[in-house]
Chains A and B, each alone.
Chain A
Amino acid sequence: MHVIELHNVWKTYPLGKTRVHALRGLSLEVKQGEFLAIQGPSGSGKSTAMNIIGCLDTPTKGTVLLQGKNVHSFTESGLAQVRGRTIGFVFQKFNLIDTLTALENVMLPMVFQGVVEQERVSRATELLSVLGLSDRMEHKPSQLSGGQQQRVAIARSLVMNPPMLLCDEPTGNLDSKTGAEVMHLLHELNDEGRTIVLVTHEDSLARTADRIVRIRDGRQSNGDK
């Protein structure tokens, strides 16, 4: 079973009196354990594809199967719950909650899943230590460097032990050295068996993946690497 499958997915947005087709029949699947890059220039429909793959949005037409289940069969809250368990998000702008400490940020997904406090603390502490942030746990995001913030975000994405990480330009706001470190970390996680989906416009980053899906004008432009 694939982690996620898109079958002939269309996404249409109304724009004034006309309609914009962000996706025009996109089909792809994410296989268990692979490192998949979704590459496309801005305006290609890449972000829309990411939203659909991340189950943040539902298609106008077509089917999305999350671990074999149609996402349309979930309620909004039900989907949020499943999303929280199945997909770990890593964003370009880190998107940490700036009022919470690093530790609390990592604990937050577990709050939404109803994990008891004791376990929340131990799991978050362990992950942050593994990622080399044991001395930064009580720091607020504003007190952390970009690379540190992204590592906290990665810890947050891993804390529910989801089968898939969805990374949207994870190095976009980092200098090249730190960016390389983050990419290295993602590959390590992939080596440990985690499925990684990397959404990027940079060809050089995409080339490090096992497989590249190139998106142009809302559909896949070529096959596997």
Chain B
Amino acid sequence: MRELAKIGLWNIVRRKKRALLTVLGIFIGIAAVVALVSIGQGLQQSVQDQFSKVGGDKILVQAKEFGVGGVAAAGKLGVRELDVIQHVIGVGEAAGGLALSGKTRFNDVQRTVFVAMLPVKSSEANLLTTFTTWEADKGRLLRSGERGKVVIGATLSSGNVFLKDISLRNTIVVNDVGFDVVGILTRTGDPTTDSSVILSEPDARAVLNSSDVYSYIVAQAVGDPDVVSHRVERALRRDRHQKEGNEDFSVQTSTELIASFNTVLNIIQVIFVGIAAISLLVGGVGIMNTMFTAVLERTREIGVMKAIGATNSSILFVFMLESGILGLLGGVAGVLVGAGIGMLVEQVVNYAYGAGTIHAVFPVWLVIGAVLFAGVIGILSGLLPALRASRLSPVEALREE
């Protein structure tokens, strides 16, 4: 079969330019798929990592109208709600968190950033720290009740925001009050956290002039989080005299949170891969077109091969192999360039938003799958032309000039 394979291969080599143009469609499609999926997978993985840090036992309560930061909404959450939630059976601990905007000044530059707070009670502080995945990259986190100190997010510390790096022991001004920087957070990938300043609860309440509202409340479930989450919902509904379906708040377990995030991510991936699939389809049609041309050009050659004993299946093999190889070539080039694009996007995003924001991943199934898929497209596209070639009558084919 080596000679037959060589006939197919040689015809690709002989028509390099045509082969190049032919595989372009497949190449673009595969490159797009690989680039998108590698980044999508990277995002999914970082979400998964985040999730394992947060833990599956967390329940998040938010006002419905505005989501995070919606303290002005009708369904605002406050000390009363926190108390209700803390008394639900199955809730081990609950803590309120803030994510409100505040004016922050450093290096004579004023920016609006998120102000977060650390509760005074240490069990609540611990819960909130776990939930937000705050970790000190430099310095340390706040101690509960510590006044006059601030911990800042990774994005704020880099010179991008205040045109100068913020270091430990610098002073920043939040709503006209100065605070000493004692810690800088490890980048989380969540833009809210990464551009937050964290104050202790009394300081935060003072600078924001807000007495008892929370942007969200986190509860830690003891036992099945789904069951506890329903109890929390029921307790809040009763406290607010609201009917089921008309609540002005939402309760989600961390599992639900990650599931909804993954759903969105999957939809985006499916849409983009769908667009890339159009390119693959066009690429397949391109290969088909080239192979039909090749059959026409090589009609006489087909006739000769049949005269000297080639069966229809031998001819089919030669042409299918040729189109399959065209597909594979497009696939390999597409994977290489797609991987390159994925890594480039990773570099660019990490340069713009700081190291470790996203990470492009290339699972083995993606690389092998993409190449094989391209090969299969090539083979399928070659099927009709190859069938036509194999069914040529030797007499007709030999008559061809």
- Residue positions of A touching B, CB distance < 8 A: 51, 54, 56-57, 76-77, 80-81, 83-85, 89, 91, 95-97, 99-100, 104, 107-109, 111-113, 117, 156-157, 160
Contacts and interface: CB of A to CB of B under 8 A. Distances in A.
B312 interface: yes
A56 B398 contact: yes
A113 B312 contact: no
A92 to B, nearest CB: 10
Nearest to B307: A89
Given A77-B313, A107-B3, A117-B2, A156 B308 contact: yes
Nearest to B311: A77
Contact of A108 (B3, B393, B394): B3
Nearest to B304: A95
Contacts of A89: 307-308
Given A99-B14, A108-B3, A80 B310 contact: yes
Interface string B235-256: 0000000000000000000000
A56 B307 contact: yes
Given A56-B398, A80-B309, A83-B309, A97 B304 contact: yes
B1 interface: yes
A109 B308 contact: yes
Interface of B: 1-4, 6-7, 10-11, 14, 300-301, 304-314, 393-395, 398
Given A77-B313, A97-B301, A83 B307 contact: yes
Given A77-B313, A100-B7, A108 B307 contact: no
25 contacts: A54-B307, A76-B312, A77-B312, A80-B309, A80-B310, A80-B311, A81-B309, A83-B307, A83-B309, A85-B309, A97-B7, A97-B305, A99-B14, A100-B3, A100-B6, A100-B10, A104-B6, A108-B305, A112-B305, A112-B309, A112-B310, A112-B314, A113-B309, A156-B308, A157-B308
Contacts, number: 73
B10 to A, nearest CB: 4
B3 A111 contact: yes
Nearest to A98: B301
A108 B3 CA distance: 7
Contacts of A108: 3, 305, 308
Given A51-B395, A57-B395, A100-B6, A112 B311 contact: yes
Contact of A56 (B2, B4, B10, B394): B394
Contacts of A97: 7, 301, 304-305
Listed from nearest, the 6 A-B pairs whose CB atoms lie closest are: A84-B309, A99-B10, A112-B309, A77-B311, A95-B304, A56-B394
Contacts of A85: 309
Nearest to B401: A93
Nearest to A168: B398
Contacts of A96: 304
Nearest to B13: A99
A213 B10 CA distance: 42
A81 B307 contact: no
A57 B396 CA distance: 10
A111 to B, nearest CB: 5
A156 B307 CA distance: 12
Nearest to A114: B1
Contacts of B312: 76-77, 80
Contacts of B14: 99
Contacts of B394: 56-57
Contacts of B393: 57
Nearest to A80: B311
B18 to A, nearest CB: 14
Given A56-B398, A97-B301, A80 B306 contact: yes
Contacts of B304: 91, 95-97
B1 A111 contact: yes
Contacts of A117: 2
A91 B304 CA distance: 9
Nearest to A54: B307
B264 to A, nearest CB: 52
A72 B149 CA distance: 99
Contact of A112 (B10, B308, B395): B308
A111 B6 CA distance: 12
